[in-house]
Copies of this chain bind each other. A is one copy, B any other.
Amino acid sequence: MVKHDGSQQDPVLLSGRDVTTEIGTSRRPPEAEEELRRSWAGLLRAYEPPDAALAGYVERVGARAAWTAIRDRRAPRSVLLPTAARTEQFIAAELEALIDTDLAAAEAVGARLIGAGDPEWPEAAFVSFLMAASNAVKNAAPPVALYVRGRRLTNLPADALSIVGSRANTAYGQRVAADIAMGAADAGLTVISGAAFGIDTVAHRGAMAYDRESPTIAVLACGIDRAYPVANAALIDRIAQVGSVISEYPPGFSPARHRFLVRNRLIAALSAGTVVVEAGRRSGTLSTAGAADGLGRVLMAVPGPVTSALSVGCHLLLASGKALLVTSAEDVLATLGERERVEAFNRHVGLEPLMLPTEPPRPTERHPTDGLEPGIAKVYDALPARAARTVTQLSVESAIPSGDVIAALTVLELHDLVRRQNGAWRRKRQSDQ
């Protein structure tokens, strides 16, 4: 269990009660806000996310109506089904008491509860679940609300980059993850990850290396009042101070195994792009990658030595064409550029293949004749390193007519690359000058 140290945090942003006051400045009266917040808490407790039927119902009728209908067992069968196990053992008053408990537990760690209609609700991040549903993406339903500790969520998913990878990682993966996280945060992006050991930890730390606002967000697979892994409790607290920590699970909920996969869809949805730094063949990280791909986000992977088991997952993503190859923060920023985002969307809806633009391959290493016309370079190449040749000899060697050889030699002489010697020509060395 982590504890909220209120002294170091902004009470307006971090306390659930104060957030209510803040939202209360909108058109809704404070009592309506309170009721809405209680409904979100009730909904989050009533089912195990994700559930497309329930999410759709909440969107259609609103959180308050949805919650009371579920609590009072008046909701449609498709919604009562996923909520029965957690609601039908209790009478309404017991359910409301559970809500009190959850909201108090959240407030105890400085967490607030947000949902659709709240100014900081990342609506844009969840629109794509509609597209995803038609693409048969697993876990394709948005959360109905989120517990949040720390800074206000802004510009998600546009200004966020997810960096994910194996808990087991190599020194190579750590270095690359830190470099990309630092570069992304320095460029103004918020780095999102899962607070796990390994690549996640390095990504959060790298992003916090610069002193800027909201450098990083951790999305948990357990209640907002818990820290998993426990050894990362201090890291998660620090993220809540300078950035944000998010969970769609009620306080106290444990990080059950399937919740990591469900949480991974949020990491993908909340960011414009996801970079997989290191992942084994069966890494859970690949579910984040699958979600990013299915949600039409820009999916990127870092290649590594083919001899490393922890790069196998990355290479599978790259070989399958699902992920774009990135080698640095610069690559990531370029790939997230506007044009690429449009192309990723096109790919998502099947319009055309996505190709990362790149510099055309350039020929060979630096050479004295770089920049000269090929014909002129051929005449230079026809001269041996340390012997003289006549125009006729050069013409035969290069297969270039004598007149053109003479013209080429004139150009080469102007470039200080050749010199005459007894009616013949030879290469000019640096020592000649």
Q: Are A328 and B306 neighbours in the complex by a CB distance under 8 Å?
A: yes
Complexed CA–CA distance, A304 and B361 (Å): 18
Residue of B nearest to A47 (CB): B399
Q: Please judge, given known A-B contacts A258-B377, A303-B304, A359-B316, whether A85 and B325 are in contact too, CB under 8 Å.
A: no
Is the CB–CB distance between B256 and A364 below 8 Å? no
B-contacting residues, A351-370, CB 8 Å: 353, 355-359, 361-367
Question: Do residues B303 and A365 form an inter-chain contact, with CB atoms below 8 A?
Answer: no
Interchain Cβ contacts under 8 Å between A and B, 6 examples: A85-B396, A256-B381, A281-B359, A287-B361, A290-B361, A303-B306
Minimum CB–CB distance from A234 to chain B (whole Å) comes to 24
Residue-by-residue, is A286-320 near B (CB-CB < 8 Å gives 1, otherwise 0)? 11011000000000001111110001110111111
Query: Which residues from chain B contact A405 at a C-beta distance below 8 Å?
Result: 85
Q: A-side interface residues toward B, CB under 8 Å?
A: 46-48, 81-86, 89, 172, 175-176, 254, 256-258, 260-261, 281-284, 286-287, 289-290, 302-307, 311-313, 315-321, 324-328, 331, 353, 355-359, 361-367, 374, 377-378, 381-382, 384, 392, 395-402, 405
User: Can you name the residue of chain B whose Cβ is closest to the Cβ of A383?
Assistant: B256
CB neighbours (8 Å) of A303 from chain B are 303-304, 306, 311, 315, 318, 325
Contacts of A363 in B (CB 8 A): 261, 282, 284, 286-287
**Assembled-state Cα–Cα distance A162/B378 (Å):** 27
Q: How many copies does the complex hold?
A: 2
Whether B399 lies near A364 (C-beta < 8 A) is: no
Cβ–Cβ < 8 Å partners of A355 in chain B: 320-321
Q: For A256, what are the chain B residues with a Cβ–Cβ distance below 8 Å?
A: 378, 381-382, 397
Q: Are A364 and B260 in contact (CB under 8 A)?
A: yes
A409 shortest CB reach to chain B, Å: 14
* 18 extra A-B contacts, CB within 8 A, seeds A85-B405, A320-B355, A320-B356: A47-B399, A48-B378, A82-B399, A85-B398, A172-B305, A257-B377, A257-B381, A258-B377, A282-B366, A286-B361, A287-B363, A289-B361, A303-B303, A303-B306, A303-B315, A318-B325, A319-B324, A320-B358
Q: Residue of B at shortest CB range from A354?
A: B321
A327 x B315 contact (CB < 8 A): yes
Q: Are A399 and B85 in contact (CB under 8 A)?
A: yes
A364:B257 contact, CB within 8 angstroms: yes
- What separation, in Å, do the CA atoms of A48 and B82 have in the docked complex? 77
Write out the residue numbers on chain B whose beta carbons fall within 8 Å of the beta carbon of A89.
392, 395-396
Chain B residue at minimal CB-CB distance from A366 = B282
Q: Contacts of A381 on B, CB cut-off 8 Å?
A: 256-258
A358 and B392 in contact, given A364-B260, A399-B48 (Cβ under 8 angstroms) = no
From known contacts A258-B374, A303-B304, A401-B85, infer whether A321 and B361 are also in contact, taking CB-CB under 8 Å.
Answer: no
Nearest CB on B from A38, distance (A)? 19
Supposing A305-B304, A356-B319 touch, asked if A400 and B85 sit within 8 A by C-beta, the answer is yes
Most chain B beta carbons < 10 A, residue from A304, A318, A374: A318
**Which residues of the other chain, B, contact A176 by a CB distance below 8 angstroms?**
306-307
Across the interface, which residues of B come within 8 angstroms of A377, CB to CB?
257-258
Write the nearest CB–CB distance from A201 to chain B, whole angstroms.
18
**Residues of B close to A46: CB separation below 8 A:** 399
Of all chain B residues, the one with the shortest Cβ separation from A359 is: B316
Q: Is the CB of A316 within 8 A of B399?
A: no
Q: How far is the CA of A409 from the CA of B103 in the complex (A)?
A: 32
Interface centre among A359, A361, A363, A401 (most CB of B within 10 A): A361
- Cβ contact within 8 Å between B316 and A402: no
Evaluate contact between A402 and B287: CB separation under 8 angstroms.
no
A281 partner, pick from B281, B362, B392, beta carbons under 8 A: B362
Chain B residues within an 8 Å CB radius of A305? 172, 304-305
